[in-house]
Structure 1
Amino acid sequence: MTSELKVGLVGVPRGSGFIRAFQTVNETALVAICDINTEVLNQVGDEHGIKERYTDFEQMAKSDLDVILVSTPMPLHVPQAVIALLEGKHVLSEVPAATDLEQCWHLVNAVKQSGKKYMMAENYTYMKPNVLVRELAQRGLFGEIYFGEGAYIHELKAGSERTKWRRKWQTGRNGSTYPTHSLGPVLQWFGERVCTVSCFGTGHHYHDPRGAHYENEDSTTMMCKTTNGGLIEIRVDMLSNRPHNLTYYSLQGTQGCYEAPRGFGDAPKIWLADYAEKMEWCSLWDFEEEFMPEMWRNPPEEALHAGHGGGDYFEIREFVDSIINDTKPPIDVYEALDMTVPGLVSEASINQGGIPLPVPDFREIQSFPDGLPEPLRDSEIISVQL
C-alpha cells in the first residue's frame, strides 16, 4: 500500500464539500475532479488547486487513481461505482446506494469481481449523538431493543426546481425511497436488517410550478420489521410546508430508551435502567465522558467544521483506514443495501395499498431473475434523464 492514496471525485457540486476533508486526511491526495459542467469544474479546480479535470468519467476511471468518490445524482451512483470498481478503484459512494434492485445486483457483483473496497457515505451515522447512542446500544445498555424511529423531514419543493434530478428521483417517486439518513443510524443501533416493509402515505396536497402533483405522497411512513421481530418506523417528508427536522430518532429497549431533539430548544434525552434511580429523562451528554468512542473525544478542528455534524470527515477517515489496513469498510456494500433496499421495496408496497413485502438480502442472491443488461457505460450515463 502506498503512503498516499490518489483520489478522484465525480460530481463536483456536491462532492466539493468533501475536498477539505480529503485534504485533511494525510494519507490521501485529491488530484482529480470530473463533471460535465465545465464552468463549475474549472471554478472548483481553480479554487482548490486541482489540475486534473475531466468531463468524461470513463477517462478518469482509467487513470492511475486509487479511490473515486461518487457524488453525482442518485441514478448514476451504481453505474459509475461499477465502472470505477472494475477499473480497479476503491469507491466511496453518496447515498442512496442504488435506485432499483437491478442496480443492487450489479453493484454487489462488481464489488465481488473487483476485490476493491466499497463504502456508502451515510454521514448521519457519524453524527456525534448517533455515535454515542450506537456505543450504548452495542454495550447492551438498552437491553433487548425492539422499537426505533427515524425521520427525515426536509421541505425540498424549491430544491427540486434548482436541482432538476431531485424532481424525478426524490419527489417524483412514491414511497420512502430516500431512507438512508433516517434508517441508517437506527439499523446500526438494532444490529439487524429489515426483512419486511409496509409503506403508507398521506396523499397529494402540493403542486409543482407547472401545476402537476408531486408523485411522492406528501409524507410517507415506512414500517420495517427486523429479522429478530423488532419494529422501525421511518418517516420521509420532502414536501410538507413546515420547518425542517432532519435528525429525529428514537430507540426503545427493555432497559432503556432514547429520544433525539425535536427542535426549538429541545435536547437529546435518555433513560437507562442501570443508571437511573427514577423513571426520569436525563441528558444524553451525561454519558459522553464514560462511553463516547475515541473518534469524537478529541476530533480535529476540520471535523468540527465539516458538513453534516462532522459526518463528512469521519466517514472519509474510516474509509481510508479500511483501505490502508485492509479491513471491512464500516458501511460495506451489504450494509449499504440494508439501508437502501427497504426504501426501494417501499415504492412497491405503497403502490399496492401498503401491503407488507419482503426485503431481499443481497448476501444470499447469487443470480437475478430474467437476466440483466450490461452496466451502463459513460456515453450512456450522460444521457440518463436527471
Structure 2
Amino acid sequence: MAKKIKVGLAGARAQSIIQGLKAEPDVEIAAICDLDEDRLNHMADAHNIPHRYRVFEDMADSDLDAIHIATPMQCHVPQALYALEAGKHVMSEVTAGVTMDELFWLCEAVERSGKIYMYAENYCYTPEVQLVKSLVDRGMFGNPYYAVGMYLHNCSELIEYPNGKSSWRKYWQFGKRGNFYPTHSLGPVMTWLENERIREIATFAPVGCHNDRGVRQDDGTTTMCYTDSGKVVQIRVDCTSNRPHDATHYHLQGTKGAYQAAGALSSGPAIAIRTEEDPNGDQ
C-alpha cells in the first residue's frame, strides 16, 4: 500500500478544500491549525482530523508532507516561506502575497527549497473555463486577441465579523485602492492566452465614494493589460457596489470565434464559431 500524503490545513474555514482532499484516496488530512479554538475544534471533530494546532510554526515543524494555506491574505507569504523552509510542499489560497517584495521572496524560496508551490486559483479549473481552453487549444477560436475577466462580488458584509469586530478584510481589502484582487478575473483568461506575458497596465476607477460603507477601496476598478505580442486583456474587479454576485464573467474574442459567459444580468453562456457555412458565427 502506497504511503499517503499527509496534509496540514492552515485556517479552519477551508470547507471546499477539505471536501476535495477527503475525496482523494492518497491523501490524509493529518493536522489543522487556527487561532479560533472553537472553530478549530469544531472542524477537527467534524472531519476526524487527528492533530490540532494554534501556532502555525508548530504545525509546519511536524511530520507533514504538505500544507494548504487558507488564512488571511497578509499571512500567505510569511507562512509559505516558513513551510517551504521546513521542507513542506505548499498550496496557497489567493492572493499569493500583498506586496511585490513578498512575491520575489516567495519565488526565491520556492527555487531554493525544491518543493512544489501551487497557487490555488480555483477559477482556472471551473468546467466552463476548462471547456473554453480545450476549444482554444484545438484552434476553434483561431488566434485569440482580446479577453475580458470580471469579478463582481459585493463583499461589504465581510468587513466585520458576526461579533462586530473588524475583520482582516477591512484593511487588506477595503482599505486599499486599485485592483487589489485580480486573479479570479485574470487567471482564467490568461490560460486561454497561453505563453502571453503582460507588458503594460493602466487601471481606472470612478471618482469619489459611491458605496454604503464609505471604505477607501474604489467602487470598481477596470485594468487594461497589453501583452508582449499585442493582445489586450480587460480586468474588472468590484467588491463594494450594490449589485448581484457575478464572479465568473468572461469574454474571449479570436479570429474565428468568440465566447461570452452567462452573467447575473444577462443570459448565456454563448460560443460563436465562424465556419464556411456560417461566416459570422451566428449559429
Instruction: Give the TM-score taking structure 2 as reference length.
Output: 0.94
2:147 matches 1:142: no
> Cα RMSD (Å) of the superposition?
1.6
How many matched pairs? 277
Aligned letter for 1:188? T
1:248 alignment counterpart: 249
Residue by residue over 1:166-223, the C-alpha shift from the partner in whole angstroms, topping out at 9 and shown as x without a partner, is 1111221111110111110000101112121100001321242xxxx31111011000
**Within-5 A mapping of 1:366-381:** none
2:202 alignment counterpart: 198
Pair 66,253 (structure 1): closer, same or farther in 2 beyond 3 Å: same
1:351 alignment counterpart: none
Pair 45,269 (structure 1): closer, same or farther in 2 beyond 3 Å: same
Between the aligned partners of 1:83 and 1:281, the Cα distance in structure 2 is 54
Pair 275,178 (structure 1): closer, same or farther in 2 beyond 3 Å: farther
Q: Is the 8 A contact 1:270 1:281 kept in 2?
A: no
2:126 matches 1:127: yes
Q: Is the 8 A contact 1:193 1:226 kept in 2?
A: yes
Pair 258,276 (structure 1): closer, same or farther in 2 beyond 3 Å: farther
**Within-5 A mapping of 1:292-303:** none
2:188 alignment counterpart: 185
Between the aligned partners of 2:282 and 2:251, the Cα distance in structure 1 is 13
Between the aligned partners of 2:226 and 2:254, the Cα distance in structure 1 is 15
Residue by residue over 1:229-262, the C-alpha shift from the partner in whole angstroms, topping out at 9 and shown as x without a partner, is 1111111001111111111000011111110012
1:53 alignment counterpart: 52
Between the aligned partners of 1:51 and 1:186, the Cα distance in structure 2 is 40
Aligned-pair identity (%): 42
Aligned letter for 2:52? R
1:176 alignment counterpart: 179
Counterpart among 166, 170, 180 of residue 167 in structure 1: 170
Q: Is the 8 A contact 1:141 1:274 kept in 2?
A: no
Between the aligned partners of 1:281 and 1:174, the Cα distance in structure 2 is 41
Between the aligned partners of 2:56 and 2:75, the Cα distance in structure 1 is 11
Higher relative contact order, structure no. (Cα contacts within 8 Å, ≥ 6 residues apart): 1
Q: Which runs of 5+ in 2 are unaligned?
A: none
1:7 alignment counterpart: 7
Aligned letter for 1:154? H
CA drift of 1:98 comes to 1.0
2:230 matches 1:225: no
Between the aligned partners of 2:94 and 2:157, the Cα distance in structure 1 is 21
Between the aligned partners of 2:282 and 2:168, the Cα distance in structure 1 is 43
Aligned letter for 1:11? G
2:27 alignment counterpart: 28
Residue by residue over 1:75-95, the C-alpha shift from the partner in whole angstroms, topping out at 9 and shown as x without a partner, is 111110111111110001001
Aligned letter for 2:234? E
Residue by residue over 1:5-48, the C-alpha shift from the partner in whole angstroms, topping out at 9 and shown as x without a partner, is 000000112x2331121111011100100001111100111111
Q: Is the 8 A contact 1:82 1:107 kept in 2?
A: yes
Between the aligned partners of 2:38 and 2:168, the Cα distance in structure 1 is 19
1:68 alignment counterpart: 67
Pair 84,153 (structure 1): closer, same or farther in 2 beyond 3 Å: same
Q: Is the 8 A contact 1:176 1:236 kept in 2?
A: yes
Pair 171,275 (structure 1): closer, same or farther in 2 beyond 3 Å: farther
Report SS of the residue matched to 1:205: coil
Instruction: Give the TM-score taking structure 1 as reference length.
Output: 0.69
Q: Is the 8 A contact 2:211 2:242 kept in 1?
A: no
1:261 alignment counterpart: 262
1:356 alignment counterpart: none
Q: Is the 8 A contact 1:269 1:281 kept in 2?
A: no
Report SS of the residue matched to 1:164: coil
Pair 6,64 (structure 1): closer, same or farther in 2 beyond 3 Å: same
Q: Is the 8 A contact 2:9 2:31 kept in 1?
A: yes
1:89 alignment counterpart: 88
Q: Is the 8 A contact 1:196 1:224 kept in 2?
A: yes
2:107 matches 1:108: yes
Aligned letter for 2:113? S
Pair 111,280 (structure 1): closer, same or farther in 2 beyond 3 Å: same
Between the aligned partners of 1:275 and 1:196, the Cα distance in structure 2 is 37
More helix by percentage: 1
Between the aligned partners of 1:125 and 1:21, the Cα distance in structure 2 is 16
